[in-house]
Structure 1
Amino acid sequence: MRLLVVEDDDDLRLALVEGLRMSHYAVDETADGEEALYLLTTEAYDLVLLDLNLPKIDGFSVLKQIRESNADLKILILSAKSNALDKVEGLDLGANDYLTKPFDFIELEARIRNLLRRQFIQEKNILKFRNITLNISEGTVAIGDEALQLTKKEFAILRYFLLNRDKIISQEELLEHVWDSRANQFSSSIRVHIASLRKKLQHYVDYEVIGTKVGVGYYLVKEGGIGDV
């Protein structure tokens, strides 16, 4: 999942970015509202963490402009403004949730998971496909009773596949939702990571997990060896 952190406090922003990347999210960052709006017109995000007290364009204005063009993007306000009127205004303008500073990172992670579950209509933090089990909150993957050791990027790719198990996923879509803006869209990074993930999965199973539709993208191979979605 790809997130945008909009926070003008440098120390807090960098801590959030580092922590979220450790939790297998692709993360872009900015310190002002003007750049945030630019990024939102040029990149695709699954969720935005939005401070209210921003330079150039304040958070309320950013939120309002987002909602004028995108009703579905998940937005979590992070603000030192704790009074009820500010919370009501933020929610009325279209924020999905509101977290008051200071906050515990584990609570932030839980709220992010909750918002993304709504987006993908998931009821639990555990995703299953055939005998593969992925625990979103714990960052673990198991095949049967065997723990699978994945890199952060491999975990993020597999999670995205499990959340979109009934569709073919193009390389462009993976770039938009699993990589951040630092990625080179012309590199072979996606193919390399997919190949590595396949190799690790094949060590434990005797069936194909990730299939390829030439010229289109990748998909999860369903029970019975069905070669398409």
Structure 2
Amino acid sequence: MAAWAKRLAGVRGVLLDISGVLYDSGEGGGTPIDGSVEAVARLKRSQLKVRFCTNESQKSRGELVRLLRRLGFDISEDEVTAPAPAACQILKERGLRPHLLIHDGVRPEFDQIDTSNPNCVVMADAGDDFSYRNMNQAFQLLMELERPVLISLGKGRYYKETSGLMLDVGAYMKALEYACGIEAEVVGKPSPEFFRSALQAMGLEAHQAQ
């Protein structure tokens, strides 16, 4: 206990992952991991600030939060740091018009983004939409650009659903990197900027959070 007390001295906030930490996704929305609902409730009752960080890119933040609340979690949309809103901010700041290789569930996050005459590709965990045709379309667009820009909402290798392990966006991102001879810009974990944005939302420095 003394060791834990020393380790937690000065800690004022906690960053929590969602998928695989709070719940496993799958049929019917997924299932909470044993003890996770109670753990979040206990943290919320403490003096610690709590924020949820996710690379979820098959659902909008609103849809994800509604799911988690149905599973029993005390969580609101403004407590979640997710890659799609961060990517939209980057697109607006840099005047980029994306070709979207994404899941339909997260497409509403990009409703305010100009996608005409694309000058970059944004990819996410597109699930069954990672077809040869769609991957090749993204590849062709990147190869036609003088300065190709590939933005990926995460770089995970795989994740767990109730039915088993599933390939994540990172595998497909690496395929486009290799084919085009470029390096993707990752928005989401493990990008340091992603975690810095979460800390900024909490009003904390890195040494003050676990």
TM, length-normalised to structure 2 = 0.32
TM, length-normalised to structure 1 = 0.31
Is the helix fraction higher in 1 or 2?
2
